[in-house]
Structure 1
Amino acid sequence: MLKLHSEFQRVYQRGKNAHSTSIALFYLPLAGEKKVGYTASKKVGNAVVRNRCKRRLRALFDEFSPSVQDGWYVFVAKKGLFDNPFDTVRRDCKYVLKRTGAMAGVSDDKNLLS
């Protein structure tokens, strides 16, 4: 789990990023470890909304973690994460993972939304 401000900044500055309507992902490929951090700003909503958004992001990463590569991940919740149905958010998560190249075994960009 990423916890330190300096770790988040390292991923933001050196990593790849991809954005969808509900999620922004910053990914820094590092061999041998998987670390993940979650963030939601006050723009997303009050504390209840932000915590629910982070719980959704944790559930999504748990679902996709067997098929993602090693590295550091920072998931940023956007306003649409709370309002959209979970299937839409799952599709957005898969999209940003493929866009950054974090999803293992993905070589082409043809089926990004499937």
Structure 2
Amino acid sequence: MRKSYRVKTEKDFSLIFDQGKSVANRKFVVYFLVKDQAHFRVGLSVSKKLGNAVVRNGIKRQFRHLLQEFSPYLLAYDFVVIARKGAEELNHQDFKQNLRHVLKLAGLYQEGNNHEEKTNV
């Protein structure tokens, strides 16, 4: 995922947490902020409570892979995805279903919204 698609600075994270809205399901929490920009930007958060660095990096890798897959359907907002306890135990299919579910709850994932220019995330 290119740098332009990432929320990296503490200032950006704080802005999303303070001014944005949040939605959650059992495995993930999404904070999102409506912005006028060309494409979405995402920040990822995985707590040390979920496991060691290998486990946490595996979860972030799954996030990035699925967000790249979902990119044609994601709205151009800033959002932060937080993994909850139990996310580390999900197989790939359940991880994908739970992530898609929470993104739909937030209104960030819209299947009819297909933008071909986003394929090179």
TM over 0.5: yes
* Structure having the larger proportion of residues in helix: 2
Which sits farther off after the overlay, 44-53 or 21-30? 21-30
Q: Is the 8 A contact 1:14 1:28 kept in 2?
A: yes
- 1:31-78 CA-partner distances (Å, limit 9, x unpaired): 224211111111111111111111111111111111011010111122
List alignment gaps of at least 5 residues for structure 1: 107-114
List alignment gaps of at least 5 residues for structure 2: 1-5, 113-121
Q: Which amino acid aligns with 1:86?
A: H
* Stretches (4+) displaced over 4 A: none
Shift of 1:21: 2.2
Map 1:39-50 to 2 at 5 A.
Answer: 39-50=45-56
Q: Is the 8 A contact 1:54 1:77 kept in 2?
A: no
Give the alignment's Cα RMSD to 1 decimal: 1.5
Map 1:67-78 to 2 at 5 A.
Answer: 67-78=73-84
Shift of 1:104: 2.7
Is residue 17 from structure 1 mapped to residue 30 from structure 2 by the alignment?
Answer: no
SS in 2 for 1:17: strand
Q: Percent identity?
A: 31
Map 1:1-114 to 2 at 5 A.
Answer: 1-32=6-37, 33-104=39-110
Given the two structures, how large is their TM-score scaled by the length of structure 2? Answer: 0.80
Which sits farther off after the overlay, 3-12 or 24-33? 24-33
SS in 1 for 2:79: strand
Shift of 1:6: 1.3
Shift of 1:91: 1.0
